[in-house]
Structure formats: structure tokens, C-alpha cells
């Protein structure tokens, strides 16, 4: 199978997963008060779901899972360690805001789509990264995070894509590599 056909099929599957995700999205999406915050709530799910689908198609589900778990544990680790410290204070006054988990998950999905699913598709990268940044903006707009917390979430999501797991003769090997 040639590579342009593989990329086209991958993009078609991503679009299909995105459309299906809209039906799965929280009922808030169908509410009369649809707003930017709801879009961010959905994109934190849709982007990783689309990337996970692509990883399954490319037989990369183990590496996808390792990166996603790394991203999730990093977010939880920071949130639980920092608790209510000033860096972790949310604009609405609550704590556990550093880093933005919504933004980290969305950026993990976007980076996986752009770098691993269809690395030659600049349009897919543009839309995926744009959706992740919009997710971050939605968190700022909803007074759930400040810019520092959102940028930290973007970085966590981006760098978590560098982790991979491979079988070795003496066990499993966890590695990190990310092209810029």
C-alpha cells in the first residue's frame, strides 16, 4: 500500500472518530448554552481518542498507552504535589490547577496525530495543534486556569509523546525520543 493512500485512510479514520466522538460527547454539547468551555471539555477527549484509533491502526497502541499514562501521571503528580500552592491556584480561587489536565490530554492527542499518525500532513498538524491550543484557551476563558498552567499542560502533552516501550531479550525497555 502506498504512503499517500495510508495517510488518506488515516485522515479518514480520524474524521470518522471525530464525528463519532461528537455523538459520545457529554450531553452539555447539546445544551442550549453551548460555549467555549464545553468545546474544551470535548477536545480533551476527542483528540486522544482519534490519536488512539490511529495508533491501533498502526499497531502502536503500546507506545500510545505509555505516553498517555505518562502524561496523565505527570499531571496528577504535579496537581497532588502542589495542591493549593500559589503556582497551582486557579483563577476561580480553587487549587490543583497546575498543569492544565484538559490541555495536556488535548496536546498529547494532537502531537500524536501530527507526529505519528500522519507526519507528512501539515493540514492535519495545523488543525490538531489548533484544537489543542483552543482547548487551553477555553480553560483560561472559563477561569479554570491561567496562562502558565495552560502552557505547562501543552508542554506535558507534547513531551509525553516521546516515551516508548519495547520488548528486549531481558525485559521491557522504556525510552524517550522526540524529533522537533
Measure the CA–CA gap between 119 and 115, rounded to whole angstroms.
5
Verdict on whether the full-model pTM lies above 0.95? no
State the helix-helix crossing angle for 147-159 and 122-141, rounded to 10 degrees.
150
Domains in the chain, number: 1
The Cα-based distances of 27 to 21, 34, 106, 131 in angstroms read: 12, 10, 19, 20
pLDDT one-digit tens code per residue, 71-122: 999 999 999 999 999 999 999 999 999 999 999 999 999 999 999 999 999 9
pLDDT of residue 13: 59
pLDDT one-digit tens code per residue, 131-158: 999 999 999 999 999 999 999 999 999 9
The closest of 29, 32, 38, 34 to 142, measured between CA atoms, is: 38
Task: Please name the residues in contact with 119: beta carbons below 8 A apart, sequence gap of 6 or more.
Answer: none
What is 15-59 written as a DSSP string?
HHHHHHHHHHS-GGGGSTT--HHHHHHHHHHHHHHHHHHHHHHTT
Range of the domain at 83: 3-176
What secondary structure letter does DSSP report for 104?
H
pLDDT one-digit tens code per residue, 24-52: 555 544 554 567 888 899 999 999 999 99
Name the pLDDT band for 22 (thresholds 50, 70, 90). low
Residue showing cell 509523546: 161
pLDDT of residue 14: 59
pLDDT of residue 1: 46
Amino acid at each position: 500500500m502506498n504512503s499517500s493512500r495510508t495517510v488518506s485512510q488515516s485522515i479518514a479514520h480520524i474524521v470518522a472518530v471525530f464525528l463519532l466522538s461528537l455523538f459520545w460527547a457529554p450531553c452539555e454539547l447539546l445544551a442550549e448554552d453551548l460555549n467555549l468551555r464545553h468545546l474544551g471539555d470535548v477536545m480533551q477527549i476527542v483528540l486522544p481518542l482519534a490519536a488512539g484509533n490511529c495508533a491501533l491502526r498502526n499497531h502502536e497502541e503500546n507506545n500510545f498507552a505509555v505516553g498517555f499514562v505518562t502524561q496523565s501521571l505527570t499531571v496528577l503528580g504535579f496537581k497532588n504535589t502542589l495542591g493549593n500552592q500559589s503556582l497551582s491556584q486557579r483563577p476561580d480561587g480553587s487549587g490543583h490547577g497546575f498543569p492544565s489536565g484538559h490541555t495536556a490530554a488535548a496536546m498529547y492527542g494532537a502531537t500524536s496525530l501530527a507526529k505519528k499518525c500522519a507526519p507528512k500532513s501539515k493540514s492535519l498538524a495545523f488543525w490538531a495543534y489548533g484544537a489543542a491550543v483552543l482547548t487551553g484557551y477555553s480553560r483560561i476563558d472559563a477561569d479554570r486556569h491561567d496562562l502558565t498552567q495552560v502552557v505547562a499542560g501543552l508542554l506535558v502533552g507534547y513531551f509525553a509523546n516521546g516515551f516508548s516501550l519495547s520488548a528486549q531479550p531481558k525485559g521491557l525497555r522504556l525510552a524517550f525520543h522526540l524529533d522537533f
